[in-house]
Structure 1
Amino acid sequence: MSHPLQFAVFGHPIAHSVSPQIHQAFAQQFGIALDYRAIDAAPDAFVDAIGHFFHEEQGRGANVTMPHKAAAFALADERTPAAARAGTANVLTRLPNGRLSAHNTDGAAMVRDLTDRHGLDLRGHDALLLGAGGAACAVAWSLIDAGVQTLTIVNRSPESADALADAIGEPARARTRYWEDLAGIGSFDLIVNATSAGTLGHALNLPFSLAASRATCYDLGYGKSAFGFLAWARVAGARYAYDGLGMLVEQAADAFELWHGRRPDTEPVYQSLCVQMA
């Protein structure tokens, strides 16, 4: 009897992850047997944990979440253009020759969730991106690709925001501002929270003036980690406030297709998780 294919999600912390549930649901759509588990690896143990998984356990693929996305990119042997552009990876795949390939599907997954699932046309939007870490880098490029008019990047460490804007290289569209100036930079019709504040249990204390009257607010986190930002968005008068659960399902589908060559139907899995988390 053949053993199930080995897959995993690496993070720290990771106990809250619903990625194993999502991938099992996708596998059931095609009658695929797989072993997909969550592996908690502290930053100083991540490289060894990845090596053990792919080489000793013959793992086929891994999802990677905070705080390991930059490390996953660095250790890969090959990198897709999207990963190279972002400088981070959320998916690692073991190729037939044993080499590791890094992918980044975060930005494309978020845009697909906003446009296909929630019906938002991003063209012409003035967008504010809070954060400049691993997920933010992927999201920034995809928002530019999707046609936002301007992208203002604000991060508590301004150097990271400046580096991201410089990499995009379109100063008329992608710019940075200081976190302490948030109260005076005007309003935006798309606000994306890509900080780790919610996951770490910290409050952002954002000024309500940031949200335009018909604003869409989007948190890359989901569940409890998104509660604070979404509550702020509603009080600020945003028209829509979404968490990143749909993005999580979409990037999982991208990884699943990379690994199995088949595209799962994401909507029933997304709806099931919404009911579960309500």
Structure 2
Amino acid sequence: MRITGAALLAGVVGQPVAHSLSPVIHNAWLEAAGMDAVYAAFAPLDEAAFDVLIQAGRAGMIHGLNVTAPFKGQALACADEVSDTARACGSANLLAFRDGRVRAHSTDGEGLLKALGEQAPDFDLTVGPVLFLGAGGAARAAVAALLDGGAPEVVILNRTPERAQALAETFDERVRVAGDIAGARLVINAVSGPMDFDFSRTPEAVAALDMTYKPLETPFLTAARARGLTGVDGLGMLTGQAGPSFAFIFDREPPDLDPRTVVLAHLEGLEP
């Protein structure tokens, strides 16, 4: 890549963020497109430091950002222009800075649906309930996408029932807190830590998606495949939202370079 004094600066912001694979994807696209731009990682220590980063964007020093935990809610609150999708999600994973103003959008849900379409192409989201494990920061965007994608019901199962109830109440009657989960056709894990789920509890399930992508094959997915379910990994979500993110930040579509291939080659290169 040839970087000049006119280079655009973009990146991903989170805490922690060192594990993020977004710089691998976006810098590969920037190089393939011959763009004078760099995609970096930012790790503000707290909300005040995140605000400093936003001010840098308003001042024209940053062109756009992907936003991850724990700053997605703050990203939405700081924006001057909010997309309907981000407003429905209650958070933003994308910010673009133009002429001192901040535009916010969310592609988290789009990434989830793309991952399902690519890795479980025979799965019909409209047939039956979805069991959603967790009620953290990524949950609202994911549930909103599932409903938009035609899921007739989403059942929330969380360690803290009150948090699950609070999430369910942001939607209509199609979203409820777990009671009977046996009829779920799709099980989604949005719990950040290790998840040991007994798939015998969901005998009707035909697919399982883990939103975690490190490791790529999680114990949750291993257990799902052992029961004969189609597994969908978190890398599919990451790559699914990466293209729309690139377009939002740089005002152009990414080049024809498969991001999954790029990431897998990167990960293979890290192995001892």
TM class by shorter-chain length? 0.7 to 0.9
TM-score (norm 2): 0.87
Structure 1 pair 140–59 and aligned structure 2 pair: CA distance change class (3 A): same
Matched letter for residue 188 of structure 1: A
- Higher RCO structure (Cα 8 Å, ≥6 apart): 2
Matched, 1:111 2:102: no
**Which residue is equivalent to 1:9?**
12
Paired residue for 2:244? 254
Q: 1:174 maps to what in 2?
A: 175
- Over 3 Å counting, the alpha-carbon distance change for 1:239 and 1:225 in structure 2 is closer
Q: 2:137: which partner in 1?
A: 134
1:157-172 mapped onto 2 (5 Å cutoff): 157-169=160-172, 171=173
C-alpha spacing 1:191/1:266, structure 2 compared with 1 (3 Å): farther
Quick check: 1:211–1:233 contact (8 Å CA) kept in 2?
A: no
Give, in whole Å, the separation in 1 of the partners of 2:118 and 2:150: 15
The offset of 1:225, in angstroms, is 7.4
The CA distance in 1 between the partners of 2:45 and 2:215, in whole Å, is 22
Higher helix share goes to which structure? 1
Offset from partner CA, 1:47-84 (integer Å, 9 cap, x none): 33423541456101001111221121122222111111
SS at match of 2:203: strand
Which sits farther off after the overlay, 51-60 or 74-83?
51-60
Instruction: Tell me how large the CA RMSD over aligned residues is.
Output: 2.3
- Structure 2: runs of 5+ lacking an equivalent: none
Aligned to 2:267: 277
Contact 2:127–2:151 under 8 Å retained in 1: yes
- Decide which moves more: 135-144 or 156-165: 156-165
**8 Å Cα contact 2:158/2:164 also seen in 1:** yes
Deviation readout 1:251-272 (Å, 9 max, x if unpaired): 1211111122222257622123
Check if 1:54 corresponds to 2:57.
Answer: yes
Q: Report if the CA contact (8 A) 1:211-1:238 is conserved.
A: no
Deviation (angstroms), 1:126? 1.9
Give the paired residue count: 264
Of 211-220 and 16-25, more deviation after overlay is shown by: 211-220
Structure 1 residue 230 corresponds to structure 2 residue 221: yes
- In structure 2, do the counterparts of structure 1 residues 83 and 24 end up closer, same or farther at CA, with 3 Å as the change threshold? same
